[in-house]
Amino acid sequence: MTANTPPASLQNARSLDSYWMPFTANRQFKAAPRLLASAQGMHYTTDDGRKVVDGTAGLWCVNAGHGRRQITEAVERQLSTLDYAPSFQMGHTIAFDFAERLAALAPGAGDAKLDRVFFTGSGSESVDTALKIAIAYQRAIGQGTRTRLIGRERGYHGVGFGGISVGGLVNNRRVFPQLPGSDHLRHTHDLARNAYTKGLPEHGAELADDLERLVALHGAETIAAVIVEPVAGSTGVLLPPKGYLQRLREIATRHGILLIFDEVITGFGRLGMPFAADYFGVVPDIMTTAKGLTNGAVPMGAVFASRKVHDALMTGPEAAIELFHGYTYSGHPIACAAGLATLDIYAEEGLLTRAAELAAKWQEAMHSLRGAPHVIDIRTIGLVVGIELESRAGAIGARAYDIFVDCFEKGLLIRVTGDIIALSPPLIVEPGQIDDMVSLLGEALKRAA
């Protein structure tokens, strides 16, 4: 058997050919697969029985840890009561109940409170929904020329055509056409001035002025909205410089541009507060969520809109559909049941603020890797870290991928993007488990060529 041939037990048990895997080098993976069989608490178990510490909360989503019986029981009850109901010109009570619970958590106050909730099936759907709401809002207030959407370099906003248009990851955009007229702010990553900063970077707030530059270039009357991740996650944990988001909020308000926060990753406790909007004290006009919304148990997303934005569309004949948009699975009763149980767990265990209690420990532990082989920067906020590595000549991403495989084999799941390692464990993580993750990662760094 060659080094790339799956073990006989795997070959005999199943074929891997039919499943076309997302965001995966399919041929490479299927030559040496990494298969998970079960999960509980902070750990996965592989198909060959090994325990693997979940250092990434699945895919940034399992905030309350795996195998939560409370969610399982809620889903089971809902399946046996009402498995599906349409949301077009119909309703079911659990969707309204879930929306009310989410609205109570929403940032803002008065007309700026983000307590109008539109349900989707994923983060990508949430982003495209938010962009459509922004354009519809501008039209509703008599600003129909405002159709341009502004994103940011190195931003990730899912894989819909709207999301890749405002997103700033080249590989997401290289093959596919984008919406006409979209443009981008510069990213905020400044390795030369901000490397190894503890807390928010000191330098770069002025980069928010890029929005002024785009207003001068295109005209404010053409711009509907600007969308940013408060913390850019998928591109390698890029933190906003001090004052950056506040400045962006001020500029957007001055020019009548809606500000959208993509909180698919930062929402539901990742930074030590319910949302990044709370953490930074900046309230957007629209906020996208998913992932931690249901603890990753059932696919779902939610878009939070301000009363100002929502109410602007509630005009015209009462029999008219105000927003001609939605999904078959908007407000799916099973997802709502999972979401309500997830909110109960967050409240009962204080998980929406637990990252704040662990942030100092997390920062100290992760920054202990400074000086480890190949590490050129470490960035932490809440319970998330980006560890940037020096790339091999002519092979960007290869070193981090090798460390990813090594860590998995030794019992730690990490995430890599290019040559940046990201960790974002479930919010139930204990201090000793943080130390274990650092130890496993540190040893893998030493082994890396």
Cα–Cα nearest to 173, from 188, 159, 183, 152: 159
Residue 328 above 50 pLDDT? yes
Residue 3 above 60 pLDDT? no
Which residues are CB-neighbours of 207 under 8 A, at least 6 positions away?
Answer: 185, 186, 187, 188, 241, 244
Tokens of 265: 């990753």
Residue 40 above 70 pLDDT? yes
Q: What is the Cβ-side half-sphere exposure of residue 263, based on CA atoms within 13 angstroms?
A: 34
> Are residues 64 and 39 in contact, defined by beta-carbon separation less than 8 angstroms?
no
> Measured between alpha carbons, how far is 291 from 276 in angstroms, rounded to an integer?
14
Residue 82 above 90 pLDDT? yes
The predicted structure's pLDDT at residue 1: 40
The predicted structure's pLDDT at residue 11: 44
Residue 4 above 60 pLDDT? no
Task: Count other Cβ atoms within 10 Å, centred on residue 341.
Answer: 24
Tokens of 221: 């009357």
Q: Average pLDDT, stretch 183-210?
A: 97
> Are residues 426 and 62 in contact, defined by beta-carbon separation less than 8 angstroms?
yes
Q: Average pLDDT, stretch 188-194?
A: 97
> Measured between alpha carbons, how far is 91 from 393 in angstroms, rounded to an integer?
57
The predicted structure's pLDDT at residue 13: 62
Q: What is the Cβ-side half-sphere exposure of residue 328, based on CA atoms within 13 angstroms?
A: 1
Give the tens place of pLDDT for each residue, 209-257.
999 999 999 999 999 999 999 999 999 999 999 999 999 999 999 999 9
Tokens of 172: 């997401």
Give the tens place of pLDDT for each residue, 352-384.
999 999 999 999 999 999 999 999 999 999 999
pLDDT-above-70 percentage for the chain: 97
Coil, strand or helix at 328: coil
Residue 5 above 80 pLDDT? no
The predicted structure's pLDDT at residue 14: 78
> Are residues 158 and 124 in contact, defined by beta-carbon separation less than 8 angstroms?
yes
Residue 8 above 60 pLDDT? no
DSSP 8-class letter at 202: S
The predicted structure's pLDDT at residue 56: 98
> Measured between alpha carbons, how far is 95 from 366 in angstroms, rounded to an integer?
40
Give the tens place of pLDDT for each residue, 118-127.
999 999 999 9
Coil, strand or helix at 445: helix
Residue 2 above 50 pLDDT? no
Give the tens place of pLDDT for each residue, 102-113.
999 999 999 999
Coil, strand or helix at 280: helix
> Measured between alpha carbons, how far is 335 from 331 in angstroms, rounded to an integer?
7
Q: Average pLDDT, stretch 410-439?
A: 98
Tokens of 205: 């707030």
β 412-413/36-40 pair status = unpaired
Question: Mean of the per-residue pLDDT values for the chain?
Answer: 96
CA–CA distances in Å: residue 70 to residues 64, 102, 337: 11, 18, 10
